[in-house]
Each structure stands twice: as C-alpha cells, then as structure tokens.
Amino acid sequence: MKILVPVKRVIDYNVKVRVKSDQTDVDLTNAKMAMNPFCEIAVEEAVRLKEKGIATEIVAVSIGPKACQEQIRNAMALGADRGIHVECETFPESLQVAKILARLVEQESPGLVIIGKQAIDSDNNQTGQMLAALTKMPQATFASAVEVEGDSLKVTREIDGGLQTLKLSMPALVSTDLRLNEPRYAKLPDIMKAKRKPLAVMSTDELGVDITPRVTTLKVTPPPARSAGVKVETVAELMTKLRDEAKVIS
C-alpha cells in the first residue's frame, strides 16, 4: 500500500510571531521555519504503518516556494521514501491545495492519504475535508488511533462528546490529531540518506491548477499586550478587584 503524506512549511511553533510594521502580514525575516506539527504526526503514523509491513511506500508532498524542499527532506529522513515538490512562489489557499493534492492522488493512486488536521499558521482545518470531497474518498478527521484491517481502516476520532470509531474502505483519507502519536526525531545517518532519496519537482501549471489568490488580507495585528498582574493582601481585596475592575463576578 502506498501512503501519500502532505507536509507544510510553517514558522516554528516555538518562535514568537512578529507582525510587519505596515501590518500587511507576519514578518518571516530570519524566522525559524519547520514542518507543521500536525504534518509531523501524519509522517510518523505513515512510518509506523510501514514498519508494521502494512505500507510499502511513503510519498511526502509539499506545496510552496523552493525552501519547502527542506521539509520534504526532513520527512524523508523520518522514513518517507520519496518526495514531490509542487513549486510556486506563495502558499496557495486551502481549496487550491486540495485541488493540487487531488491531481497528485489521481497520478499516484495511494491506498491512504494521511494529512495533518490543520496548519498552525493559517489554522483553517479545511484541506483534508476538501481533498476527500474532490477525490470522493471516505474520510476520518481528528484521528487519535488508526488500525488497518485488510482492505478497510478502523479509525478512532475525537469528538465533543468523547470518542467515535469509524470503519472506512480504502483508499481513504485520515487527518491527524495531537493524540495519535508522538513524532520521532530524525537521526543524522537518516538525514544524510534523505539527501539521496528522489525528489520530483513540478509546477502548478503542469497539474492544471489556478492558484490566483481569492482571499485578500486586509490587516494583520498582534494580540493586545497583557497588563501586569498585581498582588492583593486579603481575600476581600481580591473579591473587590474581581467584581469592580475585572467584572468577572457580580
């Protein structure tokens, strides 16, 4: 079984995000970039399925500028067999990404697509669902456990009321949640081996997908700064401040 795993290049989650002075976008100058954490979980799950002998090949895909090849190589260092880079100057919107991935699904015919439930930069949580709709694949979102049973897939997913278990026929799509697994770190020998693994580069024009932006960002502003806390001497003083200043109690 072939597994297709999309990975996205995002600003590292440990980095404090800065906004440009003209408030047009986030300032990425000299910012540390990394693989989206939910994509790391997707890669890890694919690698575990391969280690169990269920998957035979893992294909990592990234869409965006040339720098995205760093994240593809990282995925290959973690265990992916080859990579595909769809090169474009910017990061396309969710529907455009889904259309690009749908074309790759058509070309690669994977038995399973494992995708992060959302990217931590745009935070849309849309691409997986859109891709499932475009490819007409059954989907299980927010997966916390995945088991392959012959030609079907048993997925435990997190919902508001607890857990839900679904059984899907393959090919299928799964989007990963935080509790699915804990991603491993790439070892130096694997990082060196990843440099020799095949990485195909193609354009959006080759796939016939228009990536003209349809959403315009009007303004980006940082969250308001938090005011410093104060110490109180008594419970009565605390209650007064909560009632009269914070107005969280009556």
How many domains does the chain fold into? 1
pLDDT bracket for residue 12 (50, 70, 90): very high
Does any domain span residue 196? yes
Q: What is the pTM (predicted TM-score) of this model?
A: 0.86
Per-residue pLDDT, averaged over 75-95, amounts to 93
CA 245 to CA 20: how far, in whole Å?
33
Ranking 11-20, 163-172, 201-210 by mean pLDDT, the lowest is: 11-20
CA 3 to CA 112: how far, in whole Å?
5
Instruction: Give the range of the structural domain holding residue 234, as residue numbers without chain letter.
Output: 2-244
| Mean pLDDT, rounded, of the chain | 92
CA 170 to CA 84: how far, in whole Å?
22
Identify whether the C-beta of residue 204 lies closer than 8 Å to the C-beta of residue 61: no
SS3 44: helix
Identify whether the C-beta of residue 118 lies closer than 8 Å to the C-beta of residue 95: no
CA 54 to CA 147: how far, in whole Å?
10
Identify whether the C-beta of residue 38 lies closer than 8 Å to the C-beta of residue 118: yes
CA 168 to CA 114: how far, in whole Å?
14
Ranking 107-111, 191-195, 217-221, 225-229 by mean pLDDT, the lowest is: 225-229
pLDDT for the residue numbered 75: 96
Q: What tokens does 89 get? A: 């100057």
Residue 157's alpha-carbon distances to 59, 147, 161, in angstroms, are 24, 12, 11
Does any domain span residue 250? no
- Please measure the distance between the N-terminal and C-terminal CA atoms of the chain and give it in whole angstroms: 61
Per-residue pLDDT, averaged over 71-94, amounts to 94
Rg of the chain on CA atoms, in Å: 21
CA 237 to CA 249: how far, in whole Å?
13
Report whether pLDDT(94) > 80: yes
CA 4 to CA 191: how far, in whole Å?
20
CATH code, domain with 37? 3.40.50.620
pLDDT for the residue numbered 132: 96
pLDDT bracket for residue 17 (50, 70, 90): confident
Does any domain span residue 83? yes
pLDDT bracket for residue 100 (50, 70, 90): very high
Does any domain span residue 162? yes
Which tens digit of pLDDT belongs to each residue from 133-189? 999 999 999 999 999 988 899 999 988 888 999 999 999 999 999 999 999 999 999
pLDDT for the residue numbered 24: 87
Identify whether the C-beta of residue 209 lies closer than 8 Å to the C-beta of residue 99: yes
